[in-house]
Structure 1
Amino acid sequence: MSERTEGERLAELAKRRGYFFGSNAAYGGAAGFYTFGPQGAALKSNVEEAWRDRFTVKEGNLEIEAPTIMPEPVFEASGHLDGFDDMLVECPECGESHRADHLIEDETDVEDAESYPVEEVESLIADNDLRCPNCGAELAGESVEDFNLMFETNIGPGSSTPGYLRPETAQGIFVEFPRIKEYARNSLPFGVTQIGRAYRNEISPRKSIVRTREFTQAELEQFVDPERDEPDLSSVEDVEVVLYPAEEQQKDDGEYVETTIGEAVEEGVIGNAWVGYFLGIAQGWYERIGVDMDRFRFRQHLTGERAHYAADCWDAESEVDGDWIEIAGFAYRGDYDLSKHGEYGDDEFTVFRQYDEPKTVERAVVEPDMSVLGPEFGGQAADIAEALETLAERDPDAFEGDEVTVEVDGEEFAVDADVANFRVEEQTIAGEHITPHVVEPSFGVDRTVYTLLAHAYSEDEVDGEERTYLSLEPGVAPTDVGVFPLVSNVEELIDRSEDVVEQLRDAGFSVVYDDSGSIGRRYRRQDEVGTPFCVTVDRDGLEGDGPDSVTVRARDSGRQVRIPVSELVGQLRALSDGDRSFDEVAQQYEEVTADA
């Protein structure tokens, strides 16, 4: 068997068989950009559709598609302009830029260097005598700088309206919340999903499609009332998971915690029930699409790497080539996002919470006398009146003196208390406006595709010949069925094969027809791209006394059974959907000796 690394084997197969390859090779390429070939685009599309089915359709959520370019104020409000940075160190000799935390993780025993402060990262580079991977020059003493990862552009002619390519799909959901909540009848909880492209100007893209500058995310933003809404854990409480809590990561002999979602939430290992719910859903989904659960875990963020707005955050991680890669994140974001957009934007990012019964409350009210404010303060009178109303809600005691002071645009104004017309009155209210909290499961589609290919890659021997095959689940494999005439120069077999292709395509299967080369070679080609089943049309199936039949071959085992053509669609559907195993089909029909 091959002694190449898992990543090398996968990269070679991906390029040769049309899964993915570096883009723009005719012009020298550009690091961090990949094209998905025919097989890869189909696999990626199937993963997206499987995600949509589980996290949008089955959860009863809404789906939107927002623009990938958004104006600068959106990212000023979200905090991306100031805080969406990675640590960059530049080689003094060749000028190559490197991501400092990755250098440390690659060359030392330090894990999660991203969570370290800049000063400590600089010390680690010096203490470990780290050098430029490009030219070997010393990096000790070089400054580590924060580098903002967003791609900047201009909206329209000139440079008067700056914008950015979105670094995540989430902001498109948050900024449209005032409209989307109407579609959800202003009733919490509700979820909004989006699958789309995101862009990050990575310092050092690496590991093919694992870390790129353009990628696809599938994100769900679940909006909840933090005081009233709890998830129904009954459907996931018995789901078994492997957890790597922060507490265990910080121990010298830290271990995984093998438990169930219900136990982990009850014992506080998972601190938020909503996060626990989505971890349970994700565990089942990853298993169904073909992730190797022996190479999968949920890792809790350490305090230093957790976003400032996240009360708790876990990553779904898969092991590939000896490394753990993040393929999804699950964060409890609180009310940070909607509060920030409510502060910066010109719309209401709240939801009205209806009380069970109306309440009588005391409410501070001001009705400024504009006939006095207008002549005295001119054009600033309206802003001063608004400031008085805001102050009354926040600090009623400020109106106890003869005059009250408010601040507008950094300038203080004194207003007579009589002019402010402050009073406290009883009001009957039916409810209140609250800012929902957000729970966010965010999936990297490209990284999921990479994981599926890596975990599905297998090598064995058939009749003394080495075989490579991708053991992809039928639900995500790029092609459902391969159809071949056993002999490629017999018109009757070719015509019948084409009829079978048409029949299967009409039934909704993705089908490839192949009559080139020996039947064994054709099987090998489909095995290597992960096609689960191959149908072969031969003379025995057409010349017998019974109805026309074909052989159906299972990719992983190479076993074949003979099935009547009239029953082919139904049996392939049952096999593809997992309603029947190949063993069950083989017990019903004649098993035949497999061709090479």
Structure 2
Amino acid sequence: MDATEDSLRKALAEKQSAVEAQGNAVRALKAAKVAKAEIEAAIETLNALKLEKSSIERQLQAAVSGNGPDGSVNREAFRQAVVNTLERRLFYIPSFKIYRGVAGLYDYGPPGCAVKSNVLAFWRQHFVLEENMLEVDCPCVTPEVVLKASGHVDKFTDLMVKDEITGTCYRADHLLKDFCNEKLQKDLTITAEKAAELKHVLAVLDDLSAEELGAKIKEYGIVAPDTKNPLSDPYPFNLMFQTSIGPSGLSPGYMRPETAQGIFVNFKDLYYYNGNKLPFAAAQIGQAFRNEISPRQGLLRVREFTLAEIEHFVDPEDKSHPKYCEVADLEFLMFPREEQMSGQSAKRIRLGEAVSKGTVNNETLGYFIGRVYLFLTRLGIDKERLRFRQHLTNEMAHYAADCWDAEIECSYGWIECVGIADRSAYDLRAHTEKSGVPLVAHEKFSEPREVEELVIAPVKKELGLAFKGNQKMVVESLEAMNEKEAMEMKASLETKGEVEFYVCTLEKNVSIKKNMVTISKEKKKEHQRVFTPSVIEPSFGIGRIIYCLFEHSFYMRPSKAGDEQLNVFRFPPVVAPIKCTVFPLVQNQQYEEVAKVISKSLTAAGISHKIDITGTSIGKRYARTDELGVPFAITVDSSSSVTIRERDSKDQIRVNVEEAASVVKSATDGQSTWDDVWSNFPHHSSGSTED
């Protein structure tokens, strides 16, 4: 796509030059008053060049906007069709609608709740059950001290700009992203070089500092979108909702911005529950809250949302995975940082190759990338519009060893839906330091090992006399020295008797004398190794996945009469809100009784279904349920046998009444495919009953 777009831009520039040159030639011929035939021939050539230019413009417009070659499919029109259907059929609606709603808050209606419930059930099956994970459920309200330790209080921010006249707030990176996308999609006159520059800005957008972001906004002349007023310089805004715990207001807290911290603070008990063995994983599904600056894009950016997160604790010296071989041969779109920085596109890479070359940091991280790919594609995400993008070096948290995002393409572009990160040992160490409770693991040795241990013993009496109220900070800094620093200090004290030592909490050097600290190395036998585990974290934005699933599942097909387009959601049975519908062909007491019998059988089999005994034509009833994404419909047209229709092919089979529920159950549970069912039962012609 990018190569095609670049070549089209170059071709358009060349054709524009040719049109201008030919226009000048026509004007020169007219000024010279040459023969009429010669002027007409030149004008004919000019018109032909203009037609060719128009054709290239259409192709370029199609390339940059995601349309087909004929420009027939428009992203915004497609999105509007999807959203209209979702809201009309009550998949979701704006919250507090009768009070004009609140930006970034949405309610799930009945079919939306069912889809969400099915996605979460499949997530539990695919991850929690298959990987023997330990599931927890922690509170949404979190004490400030926890989020202070994790870094959220100080660093959980987005860069914001304000309309300097009205005070309206905007996310700075969103304004820059919108500007670049609009230029690329609508300004067909920009050069290939300028287009490459804008694409590079989009690629490194998350990597820009406040100063760099502000400079780009000024360079491109970006103003407030609603008023066209000038904007302030970008500045950080903390996204957490603040609250207080208890009536006094003396215990500050926050609505959690993620579910992970609840798992980290419970590590000690979970490790004990797991028999003091590594590796193991803990999982949590729950609500999270982020006070978005300017929420938009429907379900993709909201203020309250569902996260499903996994924290896989592993020995930092052994990040192999026993089941890695099960995913090593998977091949899918990957977007390593080198390709991003050089302006290339994502390419298909075998996962095993990415791990063996070190593109993916380790086996366990690679294993979860593979499992996430399988989860999303089995849900119904189009594998051609799914890629795994590696974080740029400066985009990653300082403590992360590697990080990849599962990005899904929809009408809004590429959307991050799952993050898979190797967070090293940062979180457990941060909570150990803040709480004073060691969150560590143990490896017992079969034979004791002799080790040399660094011992730093501050002489608190001497330090107290010298530094008085600052004694504690000096002691802590001395004890925090690494081996190299400590041995250099020991050598200096032995030769000089005094050394300058920088105390970071005091932000100055202090003078340490020989009588203030003892530094030595002692040999001792160890029976076990004590260490802080590393964490591999896959984090799933459930709402984002569901919205992308809605778009990937939506299509339109003509009615049988050909006079209208019918909406269809091609949900796989595993996530469909309703698995089956039951229709008596006509209003008839006998058929309705059979439908009720089948309904009871479906209920007993645990299959969600809907029975419709209205007098509406069968074609319209099929169309109604296709729009809800119901994969199977049972039509009762006799007392002994019924037809089962499959949504997308519209093929029908005939089965006995007693078999209907078991056939649908096998197809919805994944025990058999529709092709299996189709080959095992008599086929039925839809005749005039189909839509």
1:20 corresponds in structure 2 to: 92
Structure-2 change in CA distance of 1:92 and 1:388 (3 Å): closer
For the 8 Å contact 1:350–1:435, the answer to whether it is kept is yes
Structure-2 change in CA distance of 1:366 and 1:528 (3 Å): closer
Higher relative contact order (CA 8 A, sep 6+): 1
Structure-2 change in CA distance of 1:174 and 1:462 (3 Å): same
Q: Distance in 2 between matches of 1:231 and 1:2?
A: 44
Structure-2 change in CA distance of 1:403 and 1:448 (3 Å): same
2:603 corresponds in structure 1 to: 505
- The equivalent position to 1:125 in structure 2, one of 179, 195, 217, is 217
For the 8 Å contact 1:166–1:199, the answer to whether it is kept is yes
For the 8 Å contact 1:240–1:259, the answer to whether it is kept is yes
Amino acid paired to 1:143 = D
For the 8 Å contact 1:42–1:478, the answer to whether it is kept is yes
Structure-2 change in CA distance of 1:327 and 1:424 (3 Å): closer
SS of residue in 2 equivalent to 1:5: helix
1:145 corresponds in structure 2 to: 235
5+ unaligned residues in a row in structure 1: which ranges? 543-547
Moved more, 206-215 or 106-115: 106-115
1:278-310 CA-partner distances (Å, limit 9, x unpaired): 111111111111001111111111223222222
SS of residue in 2 equivalent to 1:334: coil
1:33 corresponds in structure 2 to: 105
How many aligned positions are there? 582
Q: Distance in 1 between matches of 2:476 and 2:417?
A: 47
1:325 corresponds in structure 2 to: 415
1:485-509 CA-partner distances (Å, limit 9, x unpaired): 1113x22211221111111011110
Structure-2 change in CA distance of 1:403 and 1:94 (3 Å): closer
- 1:228 aligned onto 2:318: yes
Superposition pairs for residues 427-438 of structure 1, below 5 Å? Answer: 427-438=524-535
For the 8 Å contact 2:147–2:153, the answer to whether it is kept is yes
Moved more, 147-156 or 585-594: 585-594
2:155 corresponds in structure 1 to: 83
Structure-2 change in CA distance of 1:266 and 1:404 (3 Å): closer
- Residue 388 of structure 1 and its aligned partner are, at CA, apart by 11
- Residue 98 of structure 1 and its aligned partner are, at CA, apart by 0.6
Q: Distance in 2 between matches of 1:194 and 1:355?
A: 33
Structure-2 change in CA distance of 1:90 and 1:515 (3 Å): same
2:247 corresponds in structure 1 to: 157
Structure-2 change in CA distance of 1:587 and 1:55 (3 Å): closer
2:121 corresponds in structure 1 to: 49
Q: Distance in 1 between matches of 2:504 and 2:211?
A: 40
Q: Distance in 1 between matches of 2:477 and 2:307?
A: 45
SS of residue in 2 equivalent to 1:9: helix
- Residue 327 of structure 1 and its aligned partner are, at CA, apart by 0.7
Q: Distance in 1 between matches of 2:165 and 2:286?
A: 39
Q: Distance in 1 between matches of 2:277 and 2:602?
A: 44
1:278 corresponds in structure 2 to: 368
For the 8 Å contact 1:43–1:477, the answer to whether it is kept is yes
For the 8 Å contact 2:598–2:661, the answer to whether it is kept is no
Superposition pairs for residues 157-196 of structure 1, below 5 Å? Answer: 157-196=247-286
Moved more, 171-180 or 442-451: 171-180
Give the greater-gyration-radius structure (CA).
2
Q: Distance in 2 between matches of 1:126 and 1:368?
A: 54
- Residue 138 of structure 1 and its aligned partner are, at CA, apart by 3.3
- Residue 422 of structure 1 and its aligned partner are, at CA, apart by 8.6
For the 8 Å contact 1:102–1:113, the answer to whether it is kept is no
- The equivalent position to 1:528 in structure 2, one of 602, 617, 627, is 627
Moved more, 444-453 or 576-585: 576-585
1:545 corresponds in structure 2 to: none
1:215 corresponds in structure 2 to: 305
- The equivalent position to 1:484 in structure 2, one of 583, 598, 616, is 583
For the 8 Å contact 1:350–1:433, the answer to whether it is kept is yes
Q: Larger strand proportion, structure 1 or 2?
A: 1
Amino acid paired to 1:107 = F
1:517-547 CA-partner distances (Å, limit 9, x unpaired): 2211111111001010011111xx31xxxxx
For the 8 Å contact 1:295–1:319, the answer to whether it is kept is yes
1:568 corresponds in structure 2 to: 660
Structure-2 change in CA distance of 1:362 and 1:92 (3 Å): closer
For the 8 Å contact 2:422–2:537, the answer to whether it is kept is yes
- Residue 89 of structure 1 and its aligned partner are, at CA, apart by 0.7
- Residue 482 of structure 1 and its aligned partner are, at CA, apart by 0.7
Q: Distance in 1 between matches of 2:505 and 2:421?
A: 36
Instruction: Provide the alpha-carbon RMSD of the alignment.
Output: 3.1
For the 8 Å contact 1:388–1:420, the answer to whether it is kept is no
Q: Larger helix proportion, structure 1 or 2?
A: 2
Amino acid paired to 2:653 = V
- 1:104 aligned onto 2:196: no
- The equivalent position to 1:473 in structure 2, one of 568, 572, 584, is 572
- Residue 586 of structure 1 and its aligned partner are, at CA, apart by 2.6
SS of residue in 2 equivalent to 1:94: coil
Q: Distance in 2 between matches of 1:52 and 1:571?
A: 25
Q: Distance in 2 between matches of 1:466 and 1:2?
A: 14
- 1:457 aligned onto 2:554: yes
SS of residue in 1 equivalent to 2:675: helix
Q: Distance in 1 between matches of 2:107 and 2:477?
A: 58
> Identity of aligned pairs, percent?
37
For the 8 Å contact 2:442–2:530, the answer to whether it is kept is yes
Q: Distance in 1 between matches of 2:500 and 2:129?
A: 54
1:154-193 CA-partner distances (Å, limit 9, x unpaired): 0111321110111111111111112211112221111111
Q: Distance in 1 between matches of 2:356 and 2:365?
A: 13
Structure-2 change in CA distance of 1:405 and 1:363 (3 Å): farther
5+ unaligned residues in a row in structure 2: which ranges? 1-71, 181-197
2:340 corresponds in structure 1 to: 249
Structure-2 change in CA distance of 1:455 and 1:365 (3 Å): closer
Q: Distance in 1 between matches of 2:173 and 2:289?
A: 20
Q: Distance in 2 between matches of 1:440 and 1:369?
A: 42
Q: Distance in 2 between matches of 1:499 and 1:124?
A: 67
1:19-75 CA-partner distances (Å, limit 9, x unpaired): 111101122211000111111111011111111111111011111111111111111
Structure-2 change in CA distance of 1:167 and 1:565 (3 Å): same
2:189 corresponds in structure 1 to: none
Structure-2 change in CA distance of 1:194 and 1:512 (3 Å): same
Q: Distance in 2 between matches of 1:95 and 1:287?
A: 44
- Residue 425 of structure 1 and its aligned partner are, at CA, apart by 5.3
For the 8 Å contact 1:150–1:200, the answer to whether it is kept is yes
SS of residue in 1 equivalent to 2:423: strand
Structure-2 change in CA distance of 1:295 and 1:165 (3 Å): same
Amino acid paired to 2:608 = S
For the 8 Å contact 1:154–1:163, the answer to whether it is kept is yes
SS of residue in 2 equivalent to 1:164: strand
Q: Distance in 1 between matches of 2:647 and 2:389?
A: 34
Q: Distance in 2 between matches of 1:384 and 1:132?
A: 48
Q: Distance in 2 between matches of 1:467 and 1:408?
A: 67
- Residue 228 of structure 1 and its aligned partner are, at CA, apart by 2.6
For the 8 Å contact 1:458–1:469, the answer to whether it is kept is yes
For the 8 Å contact 1:364–1:423, the answer to whether it is kept is yes
Amino acid paired to 1:577 = D
2:56 corresponds in structure 1 to: none
Q: Distance in 2 between matches of 1:143 and 1:386?
A: 42
Superposition pairs for residues 190-589 of structure 1, below 5 Å? Answer: 190-232=280-322, 233-252=324-343, 254-321=344-411, 323-363=413-453, 390=479, 395=486, 398=490, 426-463=523-560, 464=562, 465-488=564-587, 490-516=588-614, 517-538=616-637, 541-542=638-639, 548-589=640-681
1:357-378 CA-partner distances (Å, limit 9, x unpaired): 21123456699999x99x999x
Q: Distance in 2 between matches of 1:69 and 1:271?
A: 34
